[in-house]
Structure 1
Amino acid sequence: MDRFMAIFFAICAGIFTTLEATINSKLANIVTPKIATLHNLLTGVLVILVANILKGTLNQYSKIITVSPQLLIGGAFGTIIVYLGIKSMPELGATITLSIIVVAQLISALLVDVFLLHHREVRFGNIIGVLLLVAGTYLILKK
């Protein structure tokens, strides 16, 4: 995949994150946040199952039993992310909830890149960028 497509996919993921959180929050007002989370994840399973069947890649799932157990926890994190977003949005709204989520993601991603994956060094620009994001989130939070 080239860089342009990767950026395009990341933009789409951001847009879909906003739509998902908003829709799930509204659904949670009708059912419960746990049921809305369950529905979200079941729907996701069906979509990706069909995509894998159509692509012919479902047989790759048999490799899952050979991976390290800590690599299997992503689904649990995904569930927690959806649930916490559903719980936060009615109180905070979409802008504040997602601003906080994005800042937390970027700070933790920088820490992972630097200390776990060693993909980058902390540079002055990184620190300024994170501080600007935190400042922007503070301004969004401020009433």
Structure 2
Amino acid sequence: MNKLLPILFAILVGICTTLEAYINSKLGKFVSPRIATFHNLITGSIFILTVILLKGNIKQYTKIFNVRPQWLIGGLFGACIIYFGIKAIPKLGVANTLIIVFVSQVTTGLFIDIFILRQDQLHLYKLIGIILLFIGTFFVMK
């Protein structure tokens, strides 16, 4: 039961990622991919700022000045995710783009867990799983 909420959040991430990618690709056709990316980030920033202000925890933002500088670049990756998705979806489609995104996320996550965080070990089952993901991607894209 204690994993139910995180599982629900993960499902919502998948749904929101798909909807965001689709909507942004449509917006990118009317404006440009750069403008669509910028609009997405501005809209998201306004939304989360509103949530922070309503929750009354804006003072926590001052802690940002005490973190390691490399932990401050996440927004750059967010902008790249949006921009590259806007560029890829019109040519590959939503499903093909997102299956490639999914496989690259799982592969990168496994690499981080094993080689950087050392929270996991690389063994045959994981290698087989990654290979099957690549094979599944091939079939989804056909």
Please state which band the TM-score falls in when normalised by the shorter chain: over 0.9
- Is 1:61 the counterpart of 2:61? The answer is yes
Q: Give the drift of 1:123.
A: 2.2
CA deviation map 1:12-34 (0-9, x unaligned): 10011000000000000000000
Distance 1:58 1:136 in 2: 44
Q: Give the drift of 1:2.
A: 2.7
Runs of 4+ in 1 over 6 A off after TM superposition: none
How does 1:99-138 map onto structure 2 within 5 Å?
A: 99-138=99-138
* Structure 1 unaligned spans of 5+: none
The alignment's C-alpha RMSD in Å is: 1.1
- Is 1:35 the counterpart of 2:35? The answer is yes
TM-score (norm 2): 0.97
What SS does the aligned partner of 1:118 have? coil
Q: Give the drift of 1:131.
A: 1.1
Percent of pairs with identical residues = 49
CA deviation map 1:23-53 (0-9, x unaligned): 0000000000000000000000011101111
How does 1:10-25 map onto structure 2 within 5 Å?
A: 10-25=10-25
Distance 2:34 2:139 in 1: 31
* Structure 2 unaligned spans of 5+: none
Deviates more, 1:129-138 or 1:21-30: 129-138
Tell me how many residue pairs correspond in the alignment.
142
